Structure 1
Amino acid sequence: MIGQSRTDAVSESPRASESIGSSSALSLDDIYHLLQTQRRRDVLRYLRTADDRVRLRELAEQVAAWEQETTVDNLSSDERQRVYISLYQSHLPKLDNHGIVDYDKDRGWVEPTPRAEQLHPYLEPPSASQSPDRWPRRYAGAIVCCGLGLAAVTAGFGPSAGLVGAWVVLVAFAIVTSAHAWSTGAFDRYLTN
């Protein structure tokens, strides 16, 4: 269920995440607002792969490297500093205020909260080569199999009724589409709304 929308309040304390229940759902407006900038999406991707809390400097360097499409070792001091300052002053406090991360500004630590998992379905993988989408290939496979089946029916091999071939195509695509929807959690989202 989608929760009530919260707006960013200037007077909200940096530790506001402590008062936000981790099970409370973010509204779609909040989700889109939080994910509107590439830097915040990169922060969440990095934290998703981290085992524990991370140092702000380490996080800023990796985000800067992704932005510059280079390695951390090849970053200039200015590139590191620009990202560090924007994370320190803007992006991490915003994520902390919404209960997505625990951000200890004084010690320079950042840690995702359980609430961050609500944003994971909205994050695309960092690059297509790291996590290829297999669904287009599965649909293509279903098309090829159905095409071969229909060709066999047309050539006289197998059942001669055209209706049987149509049902085979329909069932094949229903299976692939259902598997796709199940794997992406679309059924869960549909049933809970």
Structure 2
Amino acid sequence: MGIGEAVAERFEDRSSTADADDLETDEIFHILQTRRRRDVLRYLRQADGPVRLGDLAERVAAWEQGTTVDALTSSERQRVYISLYQSHLPKLDREGIVDYDKDRGIVERTPLAAAFDPFIDEIDGVDRRDSWPRRYAAVAALCTLLLAALGATGVVAPAGLAAGGAVIAAFAVVIGVHARAT
């Protein structure tokens, strides 16, 4: 399944009036091709409702510069503000991904924006795989080492070693199932 088909499937449950078929694969890639648009979508996902364009521009500029909003220079803020105001937000608004009130300087995420979340994370290298199987495996390895050390020193009877080995083996099976499922 291509990215266009995957996004189209996710669009089926949205309450927006835009048609999922209206966004072709090339348009989806165009929307996601710039880091600023992805940052806009990421910020709006974290926001609780509508945001001011100035706040959005500051946050995006801070991410780009790898600094805090307070440490930004006026020119760094202005550069991002202008590109969002003139280019990126109107594009996202035309596609129905955000509601952008240019006159009031207010931006809000639409239901259609949620369809882009998995792709934003994937493009930007966010690894959403569950890290718990690796943690479980490390614990199982440590328990195996501990059990081996106790067995080698004679502290634990052979029956206890067998029982401990069975528990660790069962734990390893659960780890494998969990890792495969995620």
TM-score in same-fold range (> 0.5): yes
Q: 1: CA distance between counterparts of 2:48 and 2:169?
A: 50
DSSP 3-state at the match of 1:124 = helix
2:162 is equivalent to residue 158 of structure 1? yes
Q: Say if 1:142 and 1:176, in contact at 8 Å, map to a contact too.
A: no
Q: Which residue of structure 1 lines up, in the alignment, with residue 85 of structure 2?
A: 88
Q: Which residue of structure 2 lines up, in the alignment, with residue 101 of structure 1?
A: 98
Q: Say if 2:61 and 2:72, in contact at 8 Å, map to a contact too.
A: yes
Q: Say if 1:146 and 1:169, in contact at 8 Å, map to a contact too.
A: no
2:177 is equivalent to residue 174 of structure 1? yes
Q: Say if 1:146 and 1:168, in contact at 8 Å, map to a contact too.
A: no
Rg larger in structure: 2
Q: Which residue of structure 2 lines up, in the alignment, with residue 186 of structure 1?
A: none
Structure 1 vs Structure 2 CA RMSD:
3.7
DSSP 3-state at the match of 2:80 = helix
Q: Which residue of structure 1 lines up, in the alignment, with residue 73 of structure 2?
A: 76
TM-score (norm 1): 0.62
2:118 is equivalent to residue 121 of structure 1? yes
* CA 33–27 in structure 1, closer or farther in 2 if over 3 Å, else same: same
Q: 1: CA distance between counterparts of 2:86 and 2:63?
A: 20
1:135-186 CA-to-partner distances (Å, cap 9, x unmatched) read 3353242254167559969x76327xxxxx98874553122331xx3xxxxx
Q: Say if 1:101 and 1:110, in contact at 8 Å, map to a contact too.
A: yes
TM-score (norm 2): 0.65
- Whichever residue aligns with residue 100 of structure 2, its letter is Y
DSSP 3-state at the match of 2:121 = coil
Q: 1: CA distance between counterparts of 2:177 and 2:59?
A: 42
Shift of the alpha carbon at 1:104? 1.6
Q: Which residue of structure 2 lines up, in the alignment, with residue 138 of structure 1?
A: 133
Q: Which residue of structure 2 lines up, in the alignment, with residue 56 of structure 1?
A: 53
Higher helix fraction (1 or 2) = 2
- Whichever residue aligns with residue 137 of structure 2, its letter is A
1:107-155 CA-to-partner distances (Å, cap 9, x unmatched) read 2211110001111122339x99xx99683353242254167559969x7
* CA 146–31 in structure 1, closer or farther in 2 if over 3 Å, else same: farther
DSSP 3-state at the match of 2:100 = strand
Shift of the alpha carbon at 1:60? 0.9
Q: Which residue of structure 1 lines up, in the alignment, with residue 37 of structure 2?
A: 40
Q: Say if 1:65 and 1:71, in contact at 8 Å, map to a contact too.
A: yes
